Structure 1
Amino acid sequence: MRCIEVKRILYTGIIAILTLSMTGCSGKIIATVKGIDITNEQFEKTLQIVSSTRNYMDSEYVEDMEKSLGKKYKKNLENTVLSFMIDNELLYQEAKDKKLIPSSEVINSKYEELEKIINSNPTYKKEIDKVGLNKEYLLKQISKDLAIEKNKNNFEEKINISEKDILDYYEKNKSKFKINEVEASHILISTLDKNKKQVKEDEKKKLKEKTENLLHKINNGESFEELANKYSDDKSAGKNGGKLGYFSKNEKNAEFTNEAFKLQKGQISKVVETSYGYHIIKVTDKKEILKNLNDSKDDIKKLILNEKYINHIEELNKNADIKR
Structure 2
Amino acid sequence: MWKTRKSKIKLGGKKLKKLASILLAAVIAVSTAACSNNEVATVNGKSISSKEIENQLKFQKWMMESQYGEEVWTQMEAQDKNYQETMKKQVATSVSRIRAFTDYAEKNGVKPDQKQLKEFQAQNKKMLEDEKMKKSFEKTGLDEKFLDDFAKEKATMVSLSEYLKKKSKPTEKELKDYYEKNSVKAKAAHILLTTTDTNGKPLSPEKKAEVKKKADKIYEEAKSGVDFKELAKKNSQDPGSAQNGGELGEFGKGQMVPEFEKAVFSMKEGEISKPIETQYGYHIIKLEKIVKSEFDKVKAEMEAALSQEKAQKLAQSIIDAAKIQTNEENLKKVSFGKVEKKSKKEAEPKKPADDKKENKEEKK
Sort the TM-score into its range (normalised by shorter chain): 0.3 to 0.5
Give me the TM-score of the superposition, normalised by structure 1: 0.43
By percentage of residues, which structure has more helix? Answer: 1
Structure 2 length as normaliser, TM-score? 0.39
Which of the pair has more CA radius of gyration? 2
